Amino acid sequence: MLSGRTKTGHLKAGCYYKAERLKNQRTAAGKIMIIMPLFSVLLSAWLTHGYFAIDSYNWWYITLFPGMMALVCGMTGNRDKKMGNRTIWALPVDMGRIWDAKILYCIQATATAVFLMLAATVLLGIGMEKGLHITFLVKPTLEQQVAAAILLFVTALWQIPFCMLLQQLIGIFPMVLLHIGSYILAACSISLKPYFMLFSGAITARLMCAVIRVLPNGLPAVPGNMTYSPELVSMKSLPAGVAVSLVWFLVLWMVSRRWFERQVPGR
């Protein structure tokens, strides 16, 4: 019996993910998940000093992070799509599990990028304080930063099946532009509204107001700053925001998986 196969000849679930990970090793997708979070942190350190920490997170989740996710998801899906998916349709494998493997690879890429950004922000912040003697005007605690990274990871997962499905339907570059544009609109505007949970792209920015006390416009979430309101920093929205984000993720995963399975000729 071949290694990695069951008695019926079907590949084990883990083999699909391993194959997808090997397929993306040493590719642009693998490099982007490292380069973009480091670029975001270094850029905020260079351009902002006293507000380095909150700007590092704000710039990341408002623009660069959704851009990175769109590119990674687009490249992951486009590798087979550019050949019309014929290379995988010809294989005697489960198409649903192939889609799952792509999703899981993008989840791993997302986790890598988010927690690399967290580590870089914390370590560079310590270096700026101890080495350059820079005093931060606003500085989230380590606990707040860890909570922000976890929330960012969890509430961003819906972007993976959304971007991958959109890439299959309209192509990688239109998908990237549409995703980034709609996400920025939701994060900067709709996140301030009472109905923000109806829009998945607004949830992360809204929760960050409460966790690290920064508004979507980058200003500290304190009375007197533009767009501030007490509701934005309420911790009551956290459980519901996380739950709704996970629902968005699971629904989009199931819908996109079913759509992908139906694209195989003869089904």
Domains contained in the chain, number:
1
When mean pLDDT is compared across 83-97, 233-247, 252-266, the lowest value belongs to 83-97
CA angle at 206 for the pair 221 and 35, rounded to the nearest 5°: 95
> How far is residue 39 from each of residues 43, 59, 89, 119, measured CA to CA in Å?
6, 11, 38, 13
Q: What is the pTM of this model?
A: 0.88
Give the domain range for residue 208: 13-262
> How far is residue 219 from each of residues 121, 172, 213, 232, 246, measured CA to CA in Å?
18, 33, 9, 13, 28
Reported as a single tens digit per residue, the pLDDT across 24-36 is 777 787 889 999 9
Determine, yes or no, domain membership for 7: no
DSSP codes of every residue in 100-166: HHHHHHHHHHHHHHHHHHHHHHHHHHHHHHHTS-PPPSS---HHHHHHHHHHHHHHHTTHHHHHHHH
CA angle at 102 for the pair 101 and 103, rounded to the nearest 5°: 90
Q: Tokens at residue 58, please?
A: 């704000």
Reported as a single tens digit per residue, the pLDDT across 54-74 is 899 999 999 999 999 999 999
Reported as a single tens digit per residue, the pLDDT across 106-142 is 999 999 999 999 999 999 999 998 888 888 888 889 9
In the DSSP assignment, the letter for residue 60 is I
Residue 90 pLDDT > 60, yes or no?
no
